[in-house]
Structure 1
């Protein structure tokens, strides 16, 4: 992470979501949200965290996660050549 995490941030379990990808014919129909919600329905962690490229879809991807109540808390680059990703978290 680019910045230190707040004290206690790692004291509880967090579900780290890697990626939700929906094929073009199903985009805009709520499929990603249904996949996301189905995954979370079976989990017990208090928080869900993921990384999002703020430039993906001209910012639409980040705005989608924000609409799902994810909030930015840090940034990180996987490598020196990769884009600066925004770490977002959602409390459950």
Structure 2
């Protein structure tokens, strides 16, 4: 789905998030709240080239993933602790695809749905690389990402209110998972 279509599915996006992140939401951290998540969703769906994929099992929505290509002027790299190499943050609109969210509802985890979403979203990308942010203590996601070919490049604290320190992972294209 493009950005306009994704916005029309806003309630479904919120439902999947609410189920997939119930524990984090219940913990009460500002960054993890449903309101903060949906504020980010609204901002992300204003990005040129935004893509959302929903996964279904029969008629039940069970997961989602989205991202967009980073434009020349962007805020993605703001909060980077240090640039791992000269030019690392230079964007030209076709260099880096930002994978922003991937989530699967708990009852459907462990069935390869996240990996299928990941590969489907990234399969036909024309950028040179993809990037994502992951909490260093999210060992389940971190293990999956490294198994799929992602490598740590840096650390970053996003500019969103209450955002935690994240590891920046990079995946060179073409996709190899």
Q: TM-score, normalised by structure 2?
A: 0.47
Are residues 1:18 and 2:100 paired? yes
Distance 1:8 1:78, change over 3 A: closer
Structure whose CA Rg is larger: 2
After the TM superposition, which of the residue ranges 9-18 and 30-39 deviates more from structure 2?
9-18
C-alpha distance in 1 between matches for 2:122 and 2:96: 11
Please give the residue correspondences for 1:1-92 in structure 2 after superposition, counting only pairs within 5 Å.
1-9=80-88, 10=90, 13-56=95-138, 59-78=139-158, 81-92=162-173
- What CA distance in whole angstroms lies between the structure 1 residues aligned with 2:162 and 2:123? 36
More helix by share: 2
Structure 1 distance, partners of 2:141, 2:150, is 11
Deviates more, 1:8-17 or 1:42-51: 8-17
User: How much has 1:65 moved relative to structure 2?
Assistant: 0.5
Contact (CA 8 Å) 1:70, 1:89: kept in 2 or not? yes
Q: Could you state the TM-score of these two structures normalised by the residue count of structure 1?
A: 0.86
Q: How far has the Cα of 1:81 moved from its partner?
A: 4.0
2: CA distance, partners of 1:7 / 1:82: 26
- Between the two structures, name the one with larger relative contact order (CA 8 Å, sep ≥ 6): 1
Q: How far 1:67 moved relative to its partner? A: 0.6
